Structure 1
Amino acid sequence: MIQPNKAALIELANYKMPFGKHKNQFLIDIPEAYYTWFQQKGFPQGKLGSMMQQMYDIKINGLEELIYTIRREF
């Protein structure tokens, strides 16, 4: 069984976009279309890109409520 990394999920739920037109918005609040564009063009390198890829996967699988719940509780 896969055990999610609790600290990583809490960080993902509370992480804000550091640049661009969605600057200072929580990653979960950014429209799925933005992530789809990055999926096609390539996500940034490093931690932000990894978090954006994870958020894309969460959004396309309809798991946003999980992130909202984590953000409320932590």
Structure 2
Amino acid sequence: MQAEDLLKLVTWQMPFGKYKGRIIADLPGHYLNWFAREGFPEGEIGRLLALMQEMDHNGLKPLLAPLRGTR
């Protein structure tokens, strides 16, 4: 993980699927967990989704709050 990945979590939008257009940090846990079970997509979006799932699973989402003002 790079420090700028955290900023990407609060600025990048989901590019496909049921939650297309939603900020990655705002994706529901059940959706992130589905990816964890079924497999994350390849590339940077998959890496960011995996990071967000790990943060959500471990209760670390509040750490992103200060970054939301930097959009």
The interval holding the TM-score normalised by the smaller chain is: 0.7 to 0.9
Aligned length: 71
Larger Rg: 1
Matched, 1:58 2:55: yes
Identity %: 34
Q: Deviation per CA, 1:3-57, whole angstroms, max 9, x where unpaired?
A: x733222122211101111011011111100011111110000000000000000
Letter in structure 2 aligned against 1:55: M
Give the whole-Å Cα distance in 1 for the aligned partners of 2:10 and 2:27. 12
Aligned-residue Cα RMSD (Å) equals 1.5
Alignment TM-score, normalising by the size of structure 2: 0.87
Report the secondary structure of 1:25's partner residue: coil
Q: Which runs of 5+ in 2 are unaligned?
A: none
